[in-house]
Structure 1
Amino acid sequence: MEWRVSITDQQPFRNLVYYAGKQFEKNVSKGLDEHFNIRSYDNLLELEVHLGQLNLLDTPEILIMEVDERGKVFDVIKRLRRSSLTCGLIIVLLSARHDSRYRLLAKELRVEDYYEYPFDIDHINERLQFLRKFKLIRSDVNRLKQLPPKPYKIPIFKRLFDICFSAITLLILSPLFLIVAILIKLDSPGPVFYKSKRAGTGYKIFDFYKFRSMKCGADKELEKLKKEKNQYDQYTNGHATKPAAFVKIKNDPRITKFGHFLRNTSIDELPQLFNVLKGDMSIVGNRPLPLYEAKMLTSNEWCQRFLGPAGITGLWQVTKRGRSDMSDQERRELDNYYVQHSSIWFDLRIIGSTIPALLQKEKV
């Protein structure tokens, strides 16, 4: 289940406070209503999921959370403090009982205020107004709205390398292209190349090229296979219990006989050198995604993967590609890691590790 809050359906952005918990929610909301807009969530999970779907312009100024008996609220705070979007939020904790350990932990995590029941709601109101007035937790929102977004621009050296590498490789492999084209035609009816829409850097959509490795009309069978055989989904009794963002079908029945060879040797990927030459992609980067996958990665935590180049090979390909034990979460984290640490030397290391990774051990 997902919890989504439409900004247009809520109170104005100004003085926005998110509250998590049920025990004190009514009294707190009533006491703060005059100066703050309160949005309430029944539990910490609901709050954290919603925070993960926000962006800079609709992030709250203040979080008020009730301390649960197991202290899970402190794990939530640690995750919030690690995020560049939420690390500066004003955080206030309300506890139903006295616990010196929790009070000390709140201090270590730089929680602004920790209140134990009974507490004075008028005092909390005045304190929040003070904190909000004197603590700068984000840049001027109105100014940010007027600034045009700064798109990713590929470094000159990386682009020169991409052009030279792709052009020379296409020239050298042109005889192989001809042989593969003939074999695809002999193996099954249909076009030699497969073209689909993909989302690359900054969610830019472009035509993505591959050698066709599936029978014609394979796209029409995808919805059914996603529900039954997606490698990244978590299953219970044969049914997907946690739909994943990425789709990879193990033992895909749509693949042709020659298509299995093309995929296991990664020869089907070679036409993407034309994408590199055009500037849609780079040799090294995060995999450009089908649109149905890209639309599931728009939260603050995961859209970071689109802030770098789209590539033929990348970090996840050389570390976990073809392994059935790779989770959806692991692949997302690898994509984010590449964007955060991208450099020409990192790219060269990935290219050097790509050849051993080309021969997959599993039929995916």
Structure 2
Amino acid sequence: MNETASLESNLDNKSKVEYHVSNIQETLDQPIIIFLGESLFKQILDTENGKYELINAQSPELLINLIVNWNTYYSKKPEAILLSDNVLSKLNAEKLEKHKKNSSFKTVPLIVFSDRKNEQTKDLARSIGADEYFHKPIKFKSLIPRIKFYKRLKEAGFSKEDSILNEDKEYSMYFLKRTFDITVSLSILLLVSPLLFLTALIIKLESKGPIFYISKRAGTNYKIFDFYKFRSMQVDADSQLEKLKETANQYQDGNQFVKIKNDPRVTRIGNFIRNTSIDELPQLINVLKGDMSIVGNRPLPLYEAQLLTTDEHAERFLGPAGITGLWQTLKRGKGDMSAEERIMLDRIYVRKNSLLFDFKLMLKTIPALIQAEKV
């Protein structure tokens, strides 16, 4: 036993925390990650040239004490808590959740790692309120977007019940949701009919071409349908897309999705109706037809949908296609949005799938309607 281990063995839990943390100098510009489990230390030791400060909690008791006394030693919250599966059975789930709720750790993601898939381990991970359970190797660089994703999800007010860790649910369009969709879409169309007429007139006067942009989209169960929007771009916009995908696509991580920042194809009136979401109003016709729902996962252009056919990606198509959804409320207009985060948000929506959750998302959609960025 070395000198440090010998000293720590003679300290009580609170003193161990004080001793442990006092030997770690906080660097204000470095994010902090707490981990527990020696196998994890080997995986995340190379943390992108020291961009992250790692704190080894050393034991389940010390982890809980570290959470309780965190604000005494640090001025900022950690980015995440990473746990190896072999420590789960030793953790007091009730005590861990209690102290997380009563501290600044409420929005800190908790992620469990295992060498292989194990349902018992998954159940333990769920019991301690974990946000994710990994049962295959993952590079630290790939882990960071997941951590940011769950951190943003929790900060937006979504609970562990919204986590992707929860069991799969099959989607079916139930009566109440369909009734709600018809009532809301018809009411809004009647209410904004003068605005629809005025928008159509200005589009026709400003540039040659059709009033509506109609494209083929893939919705629930990959069903293909005609998707309606007010035309906000030049008539030859589609022919310019391939070149713009290479130079201006906001999604650069695998390129499953395409969203052009400061799109040069957008007309003057198009810029206004996109930033105010007026261009989306004709999709209420799709809702009335039954192609879409008010709330759901965005129907994708066929060139995007054909890239998302693996089991993990295909899950997003098990839910309803919608005008607004989970990723719009959390990520719309954010330059750091990744395709991976968007897919995870879509999968979470499929698993939640309830009218109450739809109401919650509709309320969160209102402040997201006016975008800060031209995307």
What TM-score do you get using the length of structure 2 for normalisation?
0.56
Aligned to 2:342: 331
The structure with the larger Rg is 1
CA 1:77–1:212 in 2, change beyond 3 Å: closer, same or farther? Answer: same
- What's the CA shift for 1:77? 8.1
Q: Give yes or no for contact 1:152–1:201 (8 Å, CA) kept in 2.
A: no
Superposed, 1:270-349 pairs within 5 Å as 270-349=281-360
**One-letter identity of the residue aligned with 2:294:** I
1:211 aligns with 2:222: no
- What's the CA shift for 1:110? 10
SS state of the match for residue 170, structure 1?
helix
Partners of 2:118 and 2:225 lie apart in 1 by 34
SS state of the match for residue 81, structure 1?
coil
Superposed, 1:92-131 pairs within 5 Å as none
Q: Give yes or no for contact 2:218–2:301 (8 Å, CA) kept in 1.
A: yes
> Which of 182, 190, 210 is residue 171 of structure 1 equivalent to?
190
Q: Where in structure 1 do 4 or more consecutive aligned residues deviate above 6 Å?
A: 74-77
SS state of the match for residue 302, structure 1?
helix
Partners of 1:280 and 1:214 lie apart in 2 by 24
- What's the CA shift for 1:151? 8.3
**One-letter identity of the residue aligned with 1:320:** K
CA 1:110–1:312 in 2, change beyond 3 Å: closer, same or farther? Answer: closer
Partners of 1:171 and 1:110 lie apart in 2 by 51
Aligned to 1:96: none
Aligned to 1:222: 241
Q: Give yes or no for contact 2:116–2:135 (8 Å, CA) kept in 1.
A: no
Write out per-residue CA displacement over residues 162-210 of structure 1, whole angstroms, 9 at most, x where no aligned residue.
0111111111111111000011112211110000000000000000000
Q: Give yes or no for contact 1:152–1:202 (8 Å, CA) kept in 2.
A: no
Partners of 2:345 and 2:311 lie apart in 1 by 16
CA 1:71–1:291 in 2, change beyond 3 Å: closer, same or farther? Answer: same
Aligned to 2:215: 196
Partners of 1:231 and 1:79 lie apart in 2 by 34
**One-letter identity of the residue aligned with 1:162:** D
Q: Give yes or no for contact 1:181–1:192 (8 Å, CA) kept in 2.
A: yes
- What's the CA shift for 1:79? 7.8
Partners of 2:212 and 2:116 lie apart in 1 by 45
SS state of the match for residue 117, structure 2?
helix
1:78 aligns with 2:114: yes
- What's the CA shift for 1:153? 2.5
1:156 aligns with 2:175: yes
Write out per-residue CA displacement over residues 260-303 of structure 1, whole angstroms, 9 at most, x where no aligned residue.
00100000000000000000000000000000111111111111
Aligned to 2:203: 184
Count of matched residue positions in the alignment of Structure 1 and Structure 2: 227
- What's the CA shift for 1:319? 0.8
Write out per-residue CA displacement over residues 286-340 of structure 1, whole angstroms, 9 at most, x where no aligned residue.
0000001111111111111001000000011111101111111111111111111
Aligned to 1:128: none
CA 1:80–1:363 in 2, change beyond 3 Å: closer, same or farther? Answer: farther
CA 1:71–1:279 in 2, change beyond 3 Å: closer, same or farther? Answer: same
**One-letter identity of the residue aligned with 2:191:** I
**One-letter identity of the residue aligned with 2:114:** K
What 5-or-longer segments of structure 2 have no aligned partner? 1-41, 45-83, 86-111, 123-133, 137-168
Partners of 2:347 and 2:359 lie apart in 1 by 18
CA 1:81–1:191 in 2, change beyond 3 Å: closer, same or farther? Answer: same
Task: Please provide the CA RMSD for this pair.
Answer: 2.9
**One-letter identity of the residue aligned with 1:160:** T
Aligned to 1:117: none
What 5-or-longer segments of structure 1 have no aligned partner? 1-69, 88-108, 112-149, 234-241
Structure with the higher fraction of residues in helix conformation:
2
Aligned to 1:61: none
Partners of 2:258 and 2:115 lie apart in 1 by 27
1:266 aligns with 2:277: yes
SS state of the match for residue 220, structure 1?
helix
Superposed, 1:19-58 pairs within 5 Å as none
Aligned to 2:160: none
Percent identity between the aligned chains? 60
Write out per-residue CA displacement over residues 115-148 of structure 1, whole angstroms, 9 at most, x where no aligned residue.
xxxxxxxxxxxxxxxxxxxxxxxxxxxxxxxxxx
Partners of 1:274 and 1:340 lie apart in 2 by 26
**One-letter identity of the residue aligned with 2:225:** F
What TM-score do you get using the length of structure 1 for normalisation?
0.58
